[in-house]
């Protein structure tokens, strides 16, 4: 069975960011699920300018080369995990900017979330879920919330994320949920594509038969005779 391609999107690009610690911890958890092929989508690798396109990517591809590379990478994924901080009760601007640069590449794929900081970035994740809906991403319920106490302990080096059993349990539940939804949505998309191809084939057959029916009988017979 083909592995599910899961993109881990890191939401911050600043120097000294905390995001690398939970990302590595998350990769260790994902490695325990052979169904998954995980890849880190680090926004540092896609230095996109603030959105300045003539129209939404829903209607035309971006002109920016970095944005086109970002959208192409997003298109390769079957599902996503957003690793996000919370800035002023919202998502980091660099993440919002990246989301604005893609549309069709995100459609009909599931996403879940790992947040860290005050209240486990719960408010940022709620806003991120709303953005996902507009991008036709299916935002999942289960998520991992690294609260301020755990965040400070890990950031200072006094503790490790592996020391918190409840975070391990949350990660396992989140990943299992993501696997289920990625498979379910993938099957639906594939099924719709096959039905569409079947419908196109049937429409083509009807058009051919209609065209043949419009040919006078004499012409049909003489044409067959010439070809025979």
Strand partners, 138: 110
Strand partners, 42: 10
- The Cα–Cα gap between 89 and 127 comes to 9
pLDDT tens-digit profile of 140-167? 999 999 999 999 999 999 999 999 999 9
If pLDDT is split at 50, 70 and 90, which confidence band does 180 have? very high
Least confident segment among 96-100, 127-131, 198-202: 198-202
pLDDT of 206 strictly over 90: no
Higher pLDDT pick, 135 / 215: 135
pLDDT given for residue 211 in this prediction: 47
Rounded to the nearest integer, the mean pLDDT of the chain is 88
Q: Are 85 and 53 in contact (CB under 8 A)?
A: no
pLDDT tens-digit profile of 31-57? 999 999 999 999 999 999 999 999 999
Residue among 67, 36, 27 at smallest CA distance from 51: 67
pLDDT given for residue 189 in this prediction: 58
pLDDT tens-digit profile of 68-108? 999 999 999 999 999 999 999 999 999 999 999 999 999 99
pLDDT tens-digit profile of 15-24? 999 999 999 9
User: Residue range 191-202: average pLDDT?
Assistant: 46
If pLDDT is split at 50, 70 and 90, which confidence band does 218 have? low
pLDDT given for residue 187 in this prediction: 78
3-state secondary structure of 63: coil
pLDDT of 137 strictly over 50: yes
For the chain, what is the largest distance between any 2 Cα atoms, rounded to a whole number of angstroms? 92
pLDDT given for residue 51 in this prediction: 96
Domain coordinates in residue numbering, the chain: 4-189, 196-227
pLDDT given for residue 1 in this prediction: 73
pLDDT of 111 strictly over 70: yes
pLDDT tens-digit profile of 52-73? 999 999 999 999 999 999 999 9
- The Cα–Cα gap between 100 and 20 comes to 23
**Which architecture characterizes domain 4-189 according to CATH?**
3-Layer(aba) Sandwich (3.40)
* Structure token digits, residue 72: 């192409």
Higher pLDDT pick, 211 / 77: 77
If pLDDT is split at 50, 70 and 90, which confidence band does 220 have? very low
């Amino acid at each position: 069975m083909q592995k599910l391609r899961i993109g881990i999107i890191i939401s911050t690009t600043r120097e000294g960011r905390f995001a690398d610690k939970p990302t590595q911890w998350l990769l260790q958890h994902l490695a325990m699920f052979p169904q998954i092929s995980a890849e880190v989508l680090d926004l540092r690798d896609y230095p996109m300018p603030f959105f300045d396109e003539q129209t939404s990517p829903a209607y035309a591809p971006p002109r920016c080369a970095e944005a086109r590379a970002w959208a192409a990478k997003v298109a390769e994924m079957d599902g996503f995990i957003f690793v996000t901080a919370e800035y002023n009760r919202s998502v980091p601007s660099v993440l919002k900017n990246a989301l604005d640069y893609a549309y069709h590449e995100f459609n009909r794929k599931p996403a879940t979330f790992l947040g860290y900081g005050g209240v486990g970035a719960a408010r940022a994740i709620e806003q991120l879920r709303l953005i996902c809906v507009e991008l036709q991403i299916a935002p999942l319920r289960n998520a991992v919330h690294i609260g301020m106490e755990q965040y400070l302990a890990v950031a200072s080096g006094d503790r490790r994320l592996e020391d918190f059993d409840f975070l391990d349990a949350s990660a396992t539940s989140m990943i299992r949920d993501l696997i289920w939804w990625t498979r379910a949505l993938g099957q639906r998309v594939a099924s719709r594509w096959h039905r569409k191809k079947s419908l196109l084939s049937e429409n083509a057959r009807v058009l051919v038969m209609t065209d043949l029916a419009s040919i006078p009988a004499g012409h049909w017979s003489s044409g067959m005779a010439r070809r025979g």
